[in-house]
Amino acid sequence: MLLAVLLLGSIFATSECYFSEENFTEESKMQLPTVVIAIIARNAAHSLPYYLGALERLNYPKDRISIWAATDHNSDNTTAVLREWLTIMQKHYHYIEWRPMDKPLSYPGELGPKHWPNGRYEYLMKLKQGALTFAKKRWADYILYADTDNILTNPETLNLMMAENKSVVAPMLDSQSAYSNFWCGITPQGYYRRTAEYFPTVHRHRQGCFPVPMVHSTMLLDLRKEGPKRLAFHPPHKDYSWPFDDIIVFAFSCRASEVQMYICNKERYGYLNVPAKPHQTVEDDRINFVHLYTESLVDGPPMYFSGYVHQELKQTDTMGFDEIYLINLRRRPERRERMMWSLYELGINAKVVDAVDGGALNSTDIKVLGVDLLPGYHDPFSGRTLTKGEVGCFLSHYYIWKEMVDMQLDKALILEDDVRFQGNFKRRLLRLMDEVEKVELDWDIIYLGRKQVKPEDEEVVENVRNLVVAGYSYWTLSYAISLQGAQKLINAEPLSKMLPVDEFLPIMYDKHPNEGHKSHFPNRNLQAYSTRPLLVQPAQYAGDPDWVSDTETSTLWDDDSVRTDWRGSQKTLKGTPQAGLNSAYRDEL
């Protein structure tokens, strides 16, 4: 009997162990907190595809997110774009609340879509309050406000902000200027106050999450905490006497409720577009956004288009030039791609020309092409002679001048593939060329990007804004060239007395300091001008982490065995050349 009990017991014990260990089901995971994302869009058709693309990519389960989206007072395609996206995305998100309003197109008393009468502030406050009320009614744990020109390129942004465990926290967003989505100081009247902390924060010289009196545009509220229960966008607090502005009203509400706002800049989270001024237009907003976009391609991280909105083909043209040439080395496809995307967004139609790859030429090929060194030429900084990269670069420009002459093109624009466009590039260039035409300026080349060798006063051109007579300059990043200019350069027969193309041009307009070099070119009558300020900059300077030079890192033109690697030669450094810097750079290598 005892034995039977023991036996039974052991069988029971075995089977219990069997179930509890091998067939044990783990406790299921916690679901992540629920979030409402508030989308309030007006005239945002230009940024929405990137904005929505970033929301799609947030690394957070969509079934834990509800979207509250409102749009109104639009004169562009915002409603259609947003509707299209929401229709497709509704199966992924937990819930979508959609509040479009087709009419009216503007607010009473509005001078333009960038103008802010009080009625507009009030309406926006009510919308933000509406989203907050919605989130509270649905017991959402968080609400994320994100303006539609804020592009959250970092897919971890939501998780990172949650991890800070703050009532109100904003990811610091980068713009094309020092503008960002926080203030470090506020005046007793509720206006922006500049403080010593602002720039070190914006430039991430100090990093962390900092208490600040104002965050706006994109921010996360933790609705599980006590403090945010008391926050409101509308109506303003009963003691409110500061300016009637939605972001200031909310900052005051935080202050009155003793809720601290925080700005975090530990990582890069995304971008915000500098908004156009009240007297400007939606087109200005779009132009600013294009600049932000082209900058994101240079400095990264890039923005991505939503896969779920219809892409309208953009209009591109050649800005009145007969041709726009983009010089690109085939083995640098990433640069070509970046430039083509930038040009497309800028509305510019360029023809890619394959650069002559100096690195693929040997000294025999170079001689067969009729290239010979300018007698006595040495790089003024390193003392070396020409590199194969420089030969390739010269030939690339030369063949374009030749094509212009062969095809009798009146004027062309030449771009190298490592440029960064200044804001409003297209409009500024169009205006310049228009004024040049109006005053019937006789011009051969106009630099859009260059390095002025000596900071000296250059003669201003009368009746053309932002144009000077060019002094000694380096670089051939970008310039406009006339048929007459191309003809003069070809007539000089430069292949048989070659020096770098950016030294050749100043010789031809007679501003080169080296009399010996100049003596080989008797007709130095090129009429050279430059925009001021410049319209393009190099994408990278020597010494920048991503800097690559196909002209300086090469081999000597007539000796395939001598490798040159003048990383950080004076020419490619930022700023004006200074003696001694070059050797310091070389010592580092």
Per CB under 6 A, contacts with ligand NAG among 365-394 are: 365
Q: How far apart are CA 535 and CA 432, in angstroms?
A: 11
Q: Which of 312, 317, 434, 546 binds ligand NAG (CB under 6 A)?
A: 312
- Pick the stretch among 180-188, 190-198, 359-367, 449-457 that binds ligand NAG (CB under 6 A): 359-367
Between residues 38 and 309, which has the closer beta carbon with respect to ligand NAG? Answer: 309
When the beta carbons of 555 and 570 are compared against ligand NAG, the nearer one is 555
Residue carrying structure tokens 């879509």: 113
CB of 297 to ligand NAG, least distance (A): 24
Give the integer Cα–Cα distance in Å for 245 and 128: 12
- 394 C-beta neighbours (distance < 10 Å), count: 26
Smallest separation, CB 113 to ligand NAG (Å): 17
- Using CB under 6 A, count the residues that bind ligand NAG: 14
- The whole-angstrom separation of Cα 362 and Cα 554 is 11
Selection from 544, 560, 385, 573 nearest residue 583 by Cα: 573
| Minimum gap (Å) between residue 308 Cβ and ligand NAG | 10
Segment interacting with ligand NAG (CB under 6 A) among 308-316, 430-438, 485-493, 500-508: 308-316
Residues 210-269 binding ligand NAG (CB under 6 A) are: 225
The interface region with ligand NAG, picked from 210-218, 358-366, 447-455, 467-475 by CB under 6 A, is: 358-366
Q: Quick one: 22 or 258, whose CB is closer to ligand NAG?
A: 22
Residues 149 and 146: their CA atoms lie apart, in Å, by 8
**In the bound complex, what is the minimum distance in angstroms from residue 495's beta carbon to ligand NAG?**
18
- Of 220 and 461, the one with the shorter C-beta distance to ligand NAG is 220
Report in angstroms how near the CB of residue 410 gets to ligand NAG at its nearest.
Answer: 34
Burial of 100 (0-12, 13-18, 19+ CB in 10 A): middle
Omega of the bond leading into 302 within 30 degrees of 0 (cis): no
Q: Are 159 and 52 in contact (CB under 8 A)?
A: no
Best CA proximity match to 236, nearest among 129, 144, 145: 129
CB of 226 to ligand NAG, least distance (A): 8
| Helix axes of 501-508 and 388-407: crossing angle, nearest 10 degrees | 50
Q: Which C-beta is closer to ligand NAG: that of 24 or that of 139?
A: 24
Site for ligand NAG (CB under 6 A): which residue of 15, 59, 165, 177? 165
Q: What is the 8-class DSSP label of residue 482?
A: E
Q: Shortest Cβ distance from residue 79 to ligand NAG (Å)?
A: 8
Strands 351-354, 445-452: pairing is unpaired
Which of 221/309 has CB closer to ligand NAG? 309
Using CB under 6 A as the binding rule, whether residue 364 contacts ligand NAG is answered as yes
Stretch that binds ligand NAG, among 263-271, 357-365, 455-463, 544-552 (CB under 6 A): 357-365
Per CB under 6 A, contacts with ligand NAG among 73-132 are: 77, 80-81, 84
Angle between helices 78-89 and 48-57 (to 10 degrees): 20
Residue 309 or 348 having the CB closest to ligand NAG: 309
- DSSP one-letter string for 25-62: PPPPPPPPPPEEEEEEESS-TTTHHHHHHHHHH-SS-G
Interacting span for ligand NAG (CB under 6 A) from 114-122, 273-281, 309-317, 319-327? 309-317
52 within 8 A of 62, measured Cβ to Cβ: no
For the bound state, the minimum distance from the C-beta of residue 13 to ligand NAG, rounded and expressed in Å, comes to 17
Q: Which residues pair with 41 in a beta bridge?
A: 71
The residue written with tokens 């530990």 in the block is 266
Residue 107 near residue 117, CB atoms below 8 Å: yes
Q: Which is nearer to ligand NAG, 33 or 301 (CB)?
A: 33
Going by C-alpha positions, the residue among 65, 237, 245, 243 that lies closest to residue 162 is 65
CB of 418 to ligand NAG, least distance (A): 27
Smallest separation, CB 208 to ligand NAG (Å): 16
Q: Both tokens of residue 394?
A: 């010269």
**Shortest approach of ligand NAG to residue 115 CB, angstroms?**
24
Cβ distance to ligand NAG smaller for residue 85 or 325: 85
Q: What is the DSSP letter of 274?
A: P
- Judged by CB, which is closer to ligand NAG: 215, or 413? 215
Could you give the CA distance from residue 292 to residue 278 in angstroms, rounded to a whole number? 19
Q: Cβ of residue 485: shortest distance to ligand NAG, in angstroms?
A: 32
* Residue type present at position 417: D
Tell me if 23 contacts ligand NAG by CB under 6 A. Answer: yes
Please report which helix (H) or strand (E) contains residue 333, including its range: helix 333-346
Residue in 362, 491, 578, 583 binding ligand NAG, rule: CB under 6 A:
362
* Amino acid occupying residue 383: G
Nearer to ligand NAG, 111 or 163 (CB): 163
The least CB distance from residue 77 to ligand NAG, in Å, is 4
**Residue-wise DSSP of 414-427:** EEESSEEEPTTHHH
Give residues in contact with ligand NAG (CB under 6 A).
22-23, 77, 80-81, 84, 165, 225, 309-310, 312, 362, 364-365
